[in-house]
Chain A
């Protein structure tokens, strides 16, 4: 059974750096073609893709956010970590990680973690 679970702070202050961890099971990120992405969804709004890391450690970032994002993986721990710098209230959202076979669709998602940016 494939599962993903996001973890991280529920509340961050403006200008702080957010660090989120995706811990997964049931698949390996060292398998050729396998990828994991981070996405977010502000309250009542649409989904937005943020970043992707693949089995070969290639990384891709949203054009609008790439200066603020860093994605990394620890294959031995089955974890993918996202950092987002200089957090702002507009970054308040539910953040999801999702599995992406062959970097196409998001076929399995975590349950999401709500992050609020407020002083």
Chain B
């Protein structure tokens, strides 16, 4: 199985901050990576697919980059609605998720 490791596990930030979350795969997954946002009590929401493609309707302050084994999700200017937990997910071989990164208010 391909293991996905996110860092940090928790991130404290303020509105307007630039935020970066890292996801590492245990082996190369090319660009077969997605990012999701999940708020408490809600289902995850797809933000980014193919490592850097923005899902329709997702604000342009979200961006993704990377290939191979290292990937990042960047929020260019954190908004109040962005405080949530973020998960990466690989789809190179089966489907596995990272352990999540909680973005909390500083």
27 inter-chain pairs at a CB distance below 8 angstroms, sorted by A residue, are A37-B95, A46-B87, A46-B98, A46-B99, A46-B100, A47-B36, A47-B87, A47-B97, A49-B95, A49-B96, A63-B1, A96-B43, A96-B44, A103-B91, A104-B32, A104-B34, A105-B34, A105-B46, A105-B49, A106-B36, A106-B44, A106-B95, A107-B46, A107-B55, A109-B45, A110-B43, A111-B42
User: Known contacts A104-B32, A107-B49; can you find 17 more A-B pairs with CB under 8 A?
Assistant: A47-B36, A47-B44, A48-B97, A49-B97, A60-B94, A104-B34, A105-B34, A105-B46, A106-B34, A106-B36, A106-B46, A106-B95, A107-B46, A109-B43, A109-B44, A109-B45, A111-B42
- Cα A107 to Cα B44 with chains together (Å): 9
**Interface residues, chain B, with chain A CB atoms under 8 Å away:** 1, 32, 34, 36, 42-46, 49, 55, 87, 89, 91, 94-100
CA distance in complex: A103, B43 (Å)? 19
Tell me the nearest residue of chain B to A52, going by C-beta: B95
A92 smallest CB distance to B (angstroms): 16
7 closest A-B pairs by CB: A109-B43, A49-B95, A47-B97, A105-B34, A46-B99, A105-B49, A104-B91
Count: A-B pairs, CB below 8 Å:
50
Residue of B with least CB distance to A102: B91
Q: Which residue of A lies closest to B91 (CB)?
A: A104
Are B97 and A46 in contact, with the CB atoms below 8 A?
A: yes
Which residues of chain B are within 8 angstroms of A63 by Cβ–Cβ distance?
A: 1, 94
